[in-house]
Structure formats: structure tokens, C-alpha cells
Structure 1
């Protein structure tokens, strides 16, 4: 896009080196007004410095929004209902945050009359795709500026030099080369790059920020309960909590016991493999507990179909298609399956693991009378199994006869 083609742009702004440089670069390159938006997604950082940085750089309209409850209620919890795991392991902590940021940017753009939005994602990663699919899904005519795909600032040294040239404050502790990059929100912390790029090398202890080393976790297990209503967690140890407060409580429990670490080599949507380290303490506990209450309450056919849908759902979230009709169709089916998913799960937290040790539900399909090895008093006629087996064996017997067995 040419200079002068943009009047006002809403920038996803953290206040760090990259987005501070982007802010100034947008002002210079496009001669436009920049509106900053900073989202509190539970990343655990003070956000007022971002406001002060924006003010210092001449920004007149500054948005700092606490989105923790919306994030957990409308994004994390629906995904947890789906039991979504990308490539069977990743709980999608970074992926699920992007559509909410994109949604709020578009809302602000409408509110302030901006004709463009901008983000700080690089041209090698998934986040550029996630942000921009969200933007276009919510406003097909919005203009998108992705500086990392346009400028010639290709190194950290170049960014710092640009910042110094334009009197952008760079703290001393930010001037050195970062050993790895991180992204955090209420659901997880991800770390990648630099010291993590060799998948043969073990993740150094100093990379972990969200969990204690399981080897250093308490030597005594801790038992907790989680209550669910219609597929969503509503209480921990009998105490009712809001979605964000509940996830924060589980994060504290998971942190103390070293739960939720994942060293993963994944397939990015843009085509390359990358190695990352994820810490998802509360989400790991929640995922385990949700599956446990489903074991009691979902019919076999519904449960197995749901397990078939989950990888597709996870892929859509990972690739940035949260606002697509296919994700919404899957969500409708998943939410329908959760109508009877109510109950309580008891878990044992110990040395990096969360084990299910009990579950109960008023809507349970489990019948001790039917399953018992003792006299079931006519609840199940074992002679019925003979016909069941022969009907299922019919095609195998016909195949065997044809083959002369």
C-alpha cells in the first residue's frame, strides 16, 4: 500500500521493542494516525507501561482492555468442550487467543473510523495467518498492514538502531539478544527460537516460567475436585468460580505440581516444522477432568464421533479459522453433545501429572448393576452375546470360506 492510502490504523500493541518500532514505522511510512490496542489476556504483565509508551509516542487514542473473562468463557471453554489437541498434544494456547484479539481490533476500528489494522507477527509464523483470517472474516474490506512483510528491518540490531534513531526508549535488559521468544496468556506460555531450535537439545531449566520442575514438586500428592455443568467447569473443590478465576486457580495448582509441560515439534500452517516448549498447567488439568466426566455421560456413538471431530476442530483453531462456518458447525454439534455432561471429577496431582481417581454424575450412563461380575439379577443375559458375536462374525466367516480356511 502506498503512503497516503491509510488514514487511521489500529495496531495490536504490547509496548515491547517490536510493536514500538512498528508504531513509529507506521507513522512515518504511511503518514497515518495510529490507534493502539493492548489486550489483557492474563499474560501476567503490567499493562500501564504500554499506555505510557503509546502516550510518549504521540498516540491520542489508546485502548487497554481486560478480556480475561471473555477469553476464557467464549474461546477457551468452547475449545475445551471439544477436547481439541493439535497433532494429538498441543492445547492451542497461542492459537485460541488470536481470534479474540482480531475481533477486538476490528471492533475498535469501527468505533474510531479506522480503515486499517496492523499486527507484529512475522512472515514465517502462524500468527500472521490467524490475525488476518480473523480480520477478513469480520470485515472483508479492512486493509491489513503487516510490517514484517514490508520493511527491511530484518534483525534485532536493526530494530534497536531504528529505536535509538527515533528516540524510542529501549530498556537495558532488552538490548541484548533474547535467548528465546515467549508468548503468554491465561491458558499457557509458549517459548520458541534460539536455544530451542535444536530439537535434540533438552529445554534448559531457565526457559520454564509457568511450572516448577516436577522433580522439585511436593513429595505429597494433592487431591482436588472439579465440578462441571453442561461441559463447562464451574467449581474447584466445591467453590464456584467465574471462568477466568477457575482457570487461574487451576494454573496455581498445576504450577505447584509441575503439570502441563510439553516439548513439541509441530507442523506450522505455513509449511515448516518448528520446535516449541509449552506450559499449560490449568488447561492440562481441565482437559483431563473434562474427558473423565464425558466418560460417564456420553453415549458411545456420540463419544466416538466427537473424538473423530476433535482433530479437525483443533486444526481449524490452529490454522486460524475460528470465524469460519465449518468451525461454527462443529461447535454446534459439540455443544449439543454437552447437554448432559454434568458431574464431578476427583484428580490426584503429583510430580508433573494429573490422574483421574474418581468421577460421578447425576446423568451417568454407567450401571454397576449391568457391569458387575457378580450375579446381576437378570440385568444382562449373557446368552444374548452368542447371536451378537455370530452376526458380527458373518462377514469374516464368509471371507474365510472363500479363502479356503
Structure 2
């Protein structure tokens, strides 16, 4: 108590000296000062003294205060959070942190709306930590300035969830008052009612159509699987929303074989990627998305499957001259050459007839899909070779028939690709 009285006495002496200096300064220190000048100086000095006394009182209270105890003041005794319920508290020089605990299931989305009072003396940092491993590990943090609001979003994956701590931290410059509300919803990747499975082989089952999904936080991988019928080709389009904060990579593979059509394809916010595949038999395909960071990425996944109808044949064209698909001279046909396969056609013509084959690669979305044409006679002898147009371009192949039937096959390296062609008499 004596220490407190001594400090108070010193404060009063200090205040008296400051009062004298402020009065002299306000009056100009000259003999010609008027009574009104002196009164104004006294008023200014008193305002300064009141401010000094407020600071001194706050410092004295903080120095002599007893740290709080009880729930929320220590990490081992946190306050249990109920969702959709507002919480308010404060931090100061004796309690820099408050501790709250919440539980999240797998596939959850946590939205935390936090506010820092306009009366606070400093910023308040809201830190979300996991206790996995027995010690607190930060997984998300947002600093809320004085008088402002911020939102914190955290996502758990299909194999995640658990117990988490929310730790508001501040009070370094005085008392900081804050409030927050925690809201939890569930993911609904591809309308599954939760998060897509993280295992690429046992992915979430989908069919054709357009689906939406979410990555971020602890949810780093979303995997899907779909079955494509025999003699079909398909497009898988992945679009990263322009509202996303993070990017992702993706790959498509045949179930169990891990034949990657594309991998390490990077989709930044606002961008998309397209995959094309074909089948001879029924095949299960896997689509795997991997988040680049913990930042949120909202995406759409579109699967389109079309049964092949090469040259209006109702299916896939034959793969050798013995099973070639018949076509007519002067008619334009559409077809799709699958990865690693050949499409063979038979055209009826007169012997010694000069022929021109014009082939067009339809799109630039299928890298390496440059169709090559080889013209044959009935015995399988090569009559002409050409083609190989770049994506979106066309090429012409010329040859002369040696009998009433001429054959040609469309092949090529690289990935699957659609094309059109026409055979004309020259």
C-alpha cells in the first residue's frame, strides 16, 4: 500500500509541474498576457492532465490486477463452442489469450464471423489450431483490426475432422473486446451429401453431367470415378471458379492401370482444363483433383460421353482393311480416332481413278491428335501416305486406285482426336 501511495504522490508532483508548464506555454510567457489568455491556458492544461491521469489510472489497474482464472483462460480448460451462438469476451495484459474448443466432422465447412470492438486498443488475432499429435498446430489465422469484422473459413476432408481450438489473442496495448459466431455446414461434392472420397481408385461415383465441388483447408484431394461404355469417347472438363482463392492439379486414369492421360495440369482461378479419352471396351475412369494450397477452390466437373458413330456407321470404324467401314465418294464424314487405334474405310471406285482425301483435325484440345492417312489396295499394298494436320487444320492426300475397291486407314500417335474427311474423284 505504501508503494501505491508513493507512486500517487509522485504522480501528483508530476501533474503539478506539467500544469505549470502548460499554463506558461499557453500564455506565451510574457507580461502582456490577458486574463482570457490565462484562462484558456488553464483549460488546455486541465485537458492534458485529465488524459495523463486516465493513462496512469489504466496502467495502475493493469499492474495491480489479478489474472483471471476459470474456463477459457488456460489451454487445458477451454470453453466449448456451440454453433450459431454468439460469444463475446476480451483480452488484456494479464490474459493475452482466450481458449475455445469445437468439434468438426469429416467433410465440414466452418465459417467463423469475428469482430473487434471499436473501443479496443489493438488488433485481435483469431487462430484455429488442431491438437492432433498432442500439441497445438495452427491451421488457419485471421487478424481483425480495431472496429472491423473478418471471416475465417476452414474445410475438413473426407478423412479429416476432429477437435480444434479457437484462440483469440491480443491485449498488448490494453483491453481488446471481441465477439464471434461459429457456423458449420457440410460439403456436397457432386451432390454426394459430403466430401468426395480422397482415394483416387475408390472415388465418389458419378455419371455424365455437371457437378460442383470444393477443395481447401484439410480437404486437399477429391476423387471421382465413372464408367464409360464400350466404343465411346468422352470429354472431362474441370473449371476452377473465378471466385476461388486457390488452384488445383488434376489427372485422369484408367481404373487400376494408372494410365495418365494428363497429369500436373494446373488450373488457376478462372481457368479450366479438358481431358479426352476413348474406349474399345467398357472402362472405369478415375478423376483426381489435388489442391495446390489450403486456400479454397470451387470447381465444376463436367463429364460428357458419346457413343462413336464413325462415318455414320453407328459405332467405331473397323481397325483393318478386312473390317473396313464402307463410305461414299463426295460425302463428308465425321469420326473419332481413339488413342492408339486405327479407323479404316472402304471406298468403291473405278480402276485407275485418281482420288483426293481431305482430312481435317477438328479441335486444338487434343494434343498430339494428328491423323495420318494410308491408302491401300485390296492386297494391302500402300498406295499413298499423308495427312498429319495440326489441330484445327486440314491436309490433302492424293493417290490412284488400282482396282474397284480402295481402302484407307486413319491412324496417328498421341491422344484421341475427332476429325472429318471427304474422298473425291480427282
Fold agreement, TM-score > 0.5: no
Q: Name the structure where helix makes up a greater proportion of residues.
A: 1
Give the shorter-chain TM-score range: under 0.3
Asked which structure has the greater RCO (Cα within 8 Å, sep 6+), the reply is 1
Q: Name the structure where strand makes up a greater proportion of residues.
A: 2
